[in-house]
Amino acid sequence: MKVTITVNGAATSADVEARQLLVHYLRNTVGLTGTHWGCDTSNCGACTVWLDGVPVKSCTTLAAMADGHEVRTVEGLETAAGLDPVQQGFIEEHGLQCGFCTPGMMMTARALLDADPDPDEATIREAISGNLCRCTGYENIVRAVRWAAAHPASRSATEEVPA
């Protein structure tokens, strides 16, 4: 079947099997490999993307379900103006190690901050509880989201990385 999906603002279209998962559509058909596949069962959240502004697990969403809808992935966080404050926060607060859960984690965090620009620690922990991380023990992820909340206008205002 043919699907047309807007991904990060750009129209994409392809013939897909009805059973094709959105995560595979994004990774294999569109070529955006920032969205990761981690578990099959919606538990780990490495595949989290936005569907019409709402975070979903793309490993248990069919590409067909996104037909005619808008998807946003980690590749859509950075704009010409610079990094999203969430991205900058993850750098500043060492919110990532192996980087595998990071795209999904950041998409969840961005959605949280859009709904609640100044969340406390408990709110952040609850928001990211559907995203597993094996490296960080979550401490610095919470701090990274707090950093983003405290620097809403950081885009283009911050030095990014050392090298």
Partner 1 sequence: MTATDVPAGGTDAPVSAAGNPIGFGRMIRKEDARFIRGQGHYVDDLDLPGMLHSAILRSSYAHARIVSIDTSAAEAHPKVRAVITGKTLEGLNLAWMPTLSGDVTAVLATDKVRFQGQEVAYVVAEDEYSARDALELIEVEYEPLPAVVDARQALAPDAPVIRDDLEGRTDNHIYDWEAGDARACEEAFAGAEVIVGQDMIYPRVHPAPMETCGSVAHMDKVTGKLTIWTTTQAPHAHRTVYALVAGLPEHKIQVISPDIGGGFGNKVGIYPGYVLSIVGSIVTGVPVKWVEDRSENLMSTSFARDYHMHGEIAATREGRILALRVNVLADHGAFNGVAQPTKFPAGFFHIFTGSYDYPAAHCKVTAVYTNKALGGVAYACSFRITEAVYLVERMVDCLAFELKMDPAELRMKNLLRPEQFPYTSPTGWVYDSGDYPRALEESMRIAGYEDLRREQAARREAAARPGADPSAPLMGIGVSFFTEGVGAGPRKHMDILGLGMADGCELRLHPTGKAQLRLSVQTQGQGHETTFAQIVSHVIGIPPEDIEVLHGDTDNTPFGLGTYGSRSTPVSGAAAAVAAQRVKDKARIIAAAALECSPDDLEWEHGRWHVRGDPSQGRTMAEIAMAAHSSLELPEGVEGHLDASVVYNPPNLTYPFGAYICVVDVDPQTGVVKVRRFVAVDDCGPRINPMIVEGQIHGGLADGVGMALMEVIAFDRDGNNLGGSFMDYLLPTSMECPSWELGVTVTPSPHHPIGVKGVGESATVGSPAAVVNAVLDALQIRHADMPFTPAVTWRAMQGRPLRPDLAIE
Q: Can you give the binding site for partner 1, defined by CB under 8 A?
A: 17, 19-20, 24, 27-28, 31-41, 43-44, 46, 73-75, 77-78, 83, 87, 90-92, 94, 96-103, 106, 121, 124-126, 128-142, 159-163
CA-nearest of 152, 37, 21, 130 to 86 is: 152
Query: Cβ closer to partner 1: 83 or 111?
Result: 83
Please identify, using beta-carbon distances, which residue of 40 and 118 lies nearer to partner 1. Answer: 40
CB of 93 to partner 1, least distance (A): 9
Q: Which is nearer to partner 1, 55 or 103 (CB)?
A: 103
Question: Which one, of 132, 126, 156, 120, lies nearest residue 57 by Cα?
Answer: 132
Burial of 15 (0-12, 13-18, 19+ CB in 10 A): exposed
Place of tokens 């094709």: 20
